[in-house]
Chains A and B, each alone.
Chain A
Amino acid sequence: MNEKLTLEELGRLLAECRQMEEAEAEAFVRAFLALVKESLARDKYVRIKGFGTFKLIEGGSCAAESAEWAGTSISFVPDVPLRDAVNKPFAQFEAVPLKEGVHFDDICECEEKTQGQKERQDEPEDSSHMEISPDGLCVEEDTHHVPEKENTDSRKLRLPWCMIASVLLAGVLIGGGIVWTLVSGRQYIPESVVRYLEESKDTASSSARPVAFSREEVKRDSSSFHTKVSDVVAPLKEKESVLETEHASLRKRETLADTIEYVTEGTQASYTLRSGESLARVAQRFYGNKKLWPYLARYNRTLLPDPDNIPVGTTIRIPKLVPKK
């Protein structure tokens, strides 16, 4: 692989290619090299079109590999056609921009030079890998320092942005949830808490007042309606029809009815439990709300020692419920 090709061989090949004498070809190569040397010594810079650029680099600040010719070296940058010709086997590859978060463990990430440095060091950059130039080493070093700083800066900026966004999102979600539970009227929150909240709202913000008001009114309506209906209906003793109407009218307000405390006021009716019926079922039939069964249990506590286990055929008294003032 690493066979060396000497000047003489090159001359011979050139002679073959151009159909000229070997000596002449060799003389050309020697003259070419000699002229490069001379002009380097004179101008420190030779550009040969189609071949490349030779530059004499006189270092000093950076430590040279050997003290013998301290800091002096030659850099060579091939011209674009030559560079591409050399890279021909790999010409099909192209640089690919990477998306965020794509990482390769086996490839080290090196930082590209910043714009300014790129302009300044445009030409040697391509071949910096091959140069022995001590200057090249210096450049590499300071390009590594500058972007690192910028990198940490951007990282510092990125973190708070994410945090702020997530905190805002969480706040909006929690606030939305609270408002929804308050406005939607479902009883996820104990009544005492809601009442407390409403009271504080009444005093604090006027905007929330209409909602609270209407809720209170609805409650009062429902309870008064309930008592009215039972007042009218009780003497008639038409249980079934009463039950139907009560049931229908109160079903809608079912959710509100259990939030009010009631006082039992005399017996409204009596009812014989059939098989499969529970106090909750009876409460549902008479009051339109199965959550009111504890009133039945309390009212009939002499009859029912265990409200969870009632024998079939037990006749219980249904109390009349009046909302507590």
Chain B
Amino acid sequence: MNSKEFFEELSCRLGREEKDVEQLLSSFTEIMTEKLLEGKVVALDGFGVFEVKKEKERIAFNPVSGQRLLVPPRLVLGFRPDAKLQRSLANE
């Protein structure tokens, strides 16, 4: 399902306009990002956990060009699905 279909379906279910839904989602994302950067973990019951983790700096080697890159450390948003969700999806 692509983004357009998703928003159509969501607005249909909520009985709102598509634009409204998009704005809602963007502010939802903003809040989530803000809280994640504060070091909090967003745990959505029955869905999964969003968590920011620090990835250490590393040296990447490109075997084609032979060049080595020092990749800086970064913060990565990870998602860990809930066991319930995984099980329900596996059973279908």
Interface string of A46-78 (1 = CB under 8 A from B): 111111101010000000000011101111101
Query: How long is the Cα–Cα vector from A5 to B81 in the complex, in angstroms?
Result: 15
In the complex where A5-B35, A51-B29 touch, is A93 in contact with B74 (Cβ < 8 A)? yes
> CB-CB < 8 A to A147: which residues of B?
61, 63
- Check A76 against B79 for contact (C-beta < 8 Å): yes
How many of chain A's residues have a CB under 8 angstroms from any CB in B?
80
B52 → chain A, closest Cβ, in Å?
6
- A-chain residues with CB within 8 Å of residue B24 when the two chains form the complex: 14, 18, 28
Q: Are B73 and A93 in contact, CB atoms less than 8 angstroms apart?
A: yes
Partner of B42, one of A10, A35, A75: A10
Q: Give CA–CA (A15, B49) in the complex, Å.
A: 21
> Is A295 part of the binding interface, using a Cβ–Cβ cutoff of 8 Å?
no
Partner of B80, one of A51, A96, A104, A130: A130
Residues of B within 8 A of A107 (CB): 56-59, 70
Distance, CA A112 to CA B61, complexed state (A)? 5
Q: Which residues of B contact A85 (CB under 8 A)?
A: 33, 37
From A36, which residue of chain B is reached at the shortest CB distance? B47
CA distance A33 to B13 in the complex (A): 12
Cβ contact within 8 Å between B61 and A40:
no
Cα A83 to Cα B36 with chains together (Å) = 12
Q: List 25 A-B contacts (CB under 8 A).
A: A7-B44, A7-B47, A17-B27, A18-B27, A32-B28, A33-B47, A35-B6, A36-B47, A41-B89, A46-B1, A49-B3, A51-B25, A69-B89, A76-B48, A82-B33, A83-B76, A86-B77, A90-B72, A95-B70, A95-B71, A98-B70, A107-B58, A107-B59, A131-B78, A132-B81
